[in-house]
Structure 1
Amino acid sequence: MPSYTVREWDKLTYGDGEGQIPPLHADRLASLAAQSAFAGRGGGGVLDHGRHALRARGVVGILATHDCSLEILPKIDVAPGETIDHQNAAIRKRLIHMLAVALDLKIDLGAVTDLAWQRETLLEILIRIFCDKLTEALRKGMPRRYVGHEEDLPTLRGRLDITRQFTRHAVNPSRLACRFDLLSEDVALNRIMKAAISHVSRISRRPANQQRLRELAFVYADITDVPVSGLRWDEAVIDRTNRPWRDLFAMARLFLRGRYQTTTGGTGQGTALLFEMNTLFEEYVGRLIARALAGTEFTVSLQGGRLFCLSAEDSGRGLFQTKPDILIRRSGFVVHVIDTKWKRIASRIDDPKQGVSQADIYQMMAYAQLYHAPRLTLLYPHHPGLSMTEAVHAQHRITGHTTLLETATIDVSSSIDMLARLRRLLLCEDAAVSASQER
């Protein structure tokens, strides 16, 4: 089955040559993308289905129909001078790292060979990691729990069900209506694992993954088949007795009903595993900032605050609720508000406003009014087009306030010393001010 790769905001022209996509495949993939929750009213939120090319937008992941698939990778600048295959491999690794941080997963990226990063799509790599982790967990045994069981027996086991005994066996006292707990593997967590195996088996195209999935399906043969819509996620208990299954539970949720992506199926169209980069970048940076400031005097809240801009005169009801991406508090007071934006800002040499939108500035001014934080930051991904390394690039004082509003960038192309880099960005205000004065 042919597989195509494009980076967000780039194009795949129609045709049969290298780096092109046949119009028939483009039509099917665009139709599938239009069913996504990210597609928007016009259906073009994932892919622009143009006259001459498919153009990816700000959503990444995999679209797979029965005869082709499209991999959309984020626009992350990695490995300059390397081949496209090597660059795409590095981007896949960075994207899975971002997903692991955002979903709080422990994933050993070193277990996947360099060749696999180059030759396999994002979906096949995720399936491969899932198979590896599930196989390792099953070596220690499948989770079991005590479940209630009812059975009519010649001798009493557990407790006697009085109601059932005197309605069903009133004339046959040789049978006892027993109720007892039975240690079983047929529990919610294992049913979810079986559903995940079945789901990814239908969409995987890599022979090695298909073989692994068949072996895993055999292990789960005695577990009840439950459709995805009927799975009891609330009954899947993750505690100290089965803690190694936490990551597998999160990955199963990712495949079946994750919060970042939408999955469509049942109509013969195909499957989509998609992630909105704005949301993923926000969650990734937020979790890393929480780690970076752990053990300090600061506390971090993600999507906290939720103060209202207006209050109705008649009812006092709040209107236009705010949800800052990241709030940093000290001694209970908000000292720093950060809003992440997955888009490229321009160098100050090219554009004094750096391409920052007026709506973003108004949003930050509302935060200044409501949260009284002395420092506000618009945080963007760093890219080589900027004239310096990741840093605070500009600082401005909001008119009529002592609050500083700054634009800053963080380089997501590398995870080396990421926590230390974030701490420098967040805690070294004096360095940021002096850097701004030098410009």
Structure 2
Amino acid sequence: MIHRTILEWESICYGDATDEIQPHAADRIAAVAAASPLAGRGGGGILEHGRKALRARGVVGVIAANGCALEILPKIDIPGEDGERANGSIRHRLVHMLAVALDLKIDAGHVTALDWQRETLLEILIRLFSEKLVDAVRQGMPRRYVEHADDLPALRGRLDVTRQFTTLAVEPSRLACRYDALTPDIALNRIMKAAVMRLSRIARTTDNQRRLRELAFAYADIAEVPLSALHWDNVVLDRTNGRWRELLNLARLLLGERFQTTSAGGSDGFSLLFEMNTLFEEYVARMLKRALADTDVRVVSQGGRLYCLETEDQRQVFQTRPDILIKRGDVVLQVIDTKWKRIAGRIDDPKRGVSQADVYQMMAYGRLYQCGKLTLLYPHHREAGCDEGLIGNYAVNSSQDQLELFSVDVARGDDIHTRLSRIVSLGLPICE
């Protein structure tokens, strides 16, 4: 099995060396990537399939094809580490971001530093899911009463009078019964089985394969349903089975329900991919909600939804959805837009590499939401030329509005919600 790891926006050349990828493997991986919905109309949204190299774009995850796999990790600076040690730490931070974004309580403490370095992101997620599912199944598989209809020789439950005196009128020895039966064959268990069966086909480590075989045996009596036919809306979580909520979220993650797509690019292809822009936005929004939970303001993600323009017949067009709004009551106090981009490190550049389109967008937000505090938030990196935090403050011409540039170091797992809360400088108490 050929396995290679690169960072987003980096290239891997074709060849036989350990830091290269063979052309035939690159072709298969590029074909799987092009089949993903994240690839876009031209098929190059994930990988640029060049003549001499594959180049990753702003999507991270794992792309697997027959006999080969390419792992793309986000560019997160890990101080004092490089090579496989740095890759292991990046995987750890990425799993943490996914856990926050999906509201998961993933206990990854038992995963050793060597495991983070040796296993791919996909294998780590499979391991976390399968271990948690094994523990849950040992405590008992959830069951629910499901209504059944059957023709029986003796009455069970209640009689279906209509069917009895129509369809069974000529067969009085059978009774049309409707009854409730306690069964494990419910929507939640069907989703778990679908995840187990999908992961059994792509897991590579011996421990993962063993756990998934055990789980497949435990779910042998559960109906196998195609992914497209799974009834996620029929899952009922209550006080009797609330412990399955995290497993359901993990199954959504691995089966392609949020932030990423799992897709088959042919019979031998599989991809587990995440858009870092989307993940970074959700991660920041949830961390800010935790930090400001005990204040009188609230954090609204993907809210607002005001329109820029109105036609002559009063139809609203060009709806806006700012990443994050900080609100007190109905008043917008601050607009925050997250950008998974690297801010320029040249201190002699007054623009700091900020996109002109991003500035125009923030000006529109300030006007529409009548808010004078506008913030662009970037991931911090060591070449930014300054410390994490405020890296630029600009006055908007002909107004009292301010556009601020902030950065946050996602490589530091300590107290990140407190560090993020400093972005909201409204005289609010900071959670410690």
What residue is the counterpart of 1:264 in the other structure? 263
CA–CA distance in 2 between the matches of 1:209 and 1:282?
A: 31
1:268: how far off?
Answer: 1.7
What residue is the counterpart of 2:93 in the other structure? 94
1:103: how far off?
Answer: 1.1
Q: Deviations over 1:40-97 (max 9, x none)?
A: 23221111111211111100000001210000000000142x3411100000000011
Counterpart secondary structure, 2:309? strand
Look up the equivalent residue of 2:49 and give its one-letter code: H
TM-score (normalizing by structure 2): 0.96
Report if aligned partners of 1:79, 1:86 keep a CA contact under 8 Å in 2.
no
Report if aligned partners of 2:148, 2:179 keep a CA contact under 8 Å in 1.
yes
Look up the equivalent residue of 1:85 and give its one-letter code: E
What residue is the counterpart of 1:239 in the other structure? 238
RMSD (Å) for aligned C-alpha atoms: 1.5
CA–CA distance in 1 between the matches of 2:63 and 2:410?
A: 24
What residue is the counterpart of 2:395 in the other structure? 397
What residue is the counterpart of 2:32 in the other structure? 32
**Structure 2 matches for 1:321-336, cutoff 5 A?**
321-336=319-334
**Structure 2 matches for 1:286-301, cutoff 5 A?**
286-301=285-300
1:267: how far off?
Answer: 2.5
What residue is the counterpart of 2:63 in the other structure? 63
Look up the equivalent residue of 1:328 and give its one-letter code: I
Look up the equivalent residue of 1:50 and give its one-letter code: G
Report if aligned partners of 1:79, 1:90 keep a CA contact under 8 Å in 2.
no
Aligned length: 428
1:269: how far off?
Answer: 4.2
Q: Deviations over 1:171-211 (max 9, x none)?
A: 44343211111111000110111011000111111111111
1:424: how far off?
Answer: 2.2
Counterpart secondary structure, 1:198? helix
Look up the equivalent residue of 2:129 and give its one-letter code: F
Report if aligned partners of 2:116, 2:124 keep a CA contact under 8 Å in 1.
yes
- Unaligned runs of 5+ residues in structure 1 are 431-439
CA–CA distance in 2 between the matches of 1:152 and 1:18?
A: 65
**Structure 2 matches for 1:69-80, cutoff 5 A?**
69-80=69-80
Counterpart secondary structure, 1:427? coil
What residue is the counterpart of 2:214 in the other structure? 215
CA–CA distance in 1 between the matches of 2:205 and 2:291?
A: 38
1:232: how far off?
Answer: 1.1
What residue is the counterpart of 2:9 in the other structure? 9
> More displaced, 347-356 or 267-276?
347-356
Q: Deviations over 1:265-299 (max 9, x none)?
A: 27324001100111111111111111111010111
TM-score (normalizing by structure 1): 0.95
1:106: how far off?
Answer: 1.1
Cα distance change on mapping 1:171 and 1:266 into 2, 3 Å: farther
Look up the equivalent residue of 1:195 and give its one-letter code: A
**Identity across aligned pairs (percent)?**
60
> More displaced, 152-161 or 13-22?
152-161
Look up the equivalent residue of 1:62 and give its one-letter code: V
* 1:103 partnered with 2:66: no
CA–CA distance in 2 between the matches of 1:361 and 1:161?
A: 67
What residue is the counterpart of 1:437 in the other structure? none
1:218: how far off?
Answer: 0.1
1:227: how far off?
Answer: 0.9
Q: Deviations over 1:374-425 (max 9, x none)?
A: 2110000001112322111111121222111111101100120111111223
Report if aligned partners of 1:34, 1:43 keep a CA contact under 8 Å in 2.
yes
> More displaced, 214-223 or 100-109?
100-109
What residue is the counterpart of 2:51 in the other structure? 51
What residue is the counterpart of 1:372 in the other structure? 370
Q: Deviations over 1:287-332 (max 9, x none)?
A: 111111101011111000010110112x211111111000010132
Look up the equivalent residue of 1:389 and give its one-letter code: D
1:369: how far off?
Answer: 0.5
1:157: how far off?
Answer: 2.0
Look up the equivalent residue of 2:256 and give its one-letter code: R
- Unaligned runs of 5+ residues in structure 2 are none
Report if aligned partners of 1:376, 1:406 keep a CA contact under 8 Å in 2.
yes
Counterpart secondary structure, 1:217? helix
Counterpart secondary structure, 1:353? coil
> More displaced, 173-182 or 185-194?
173-182
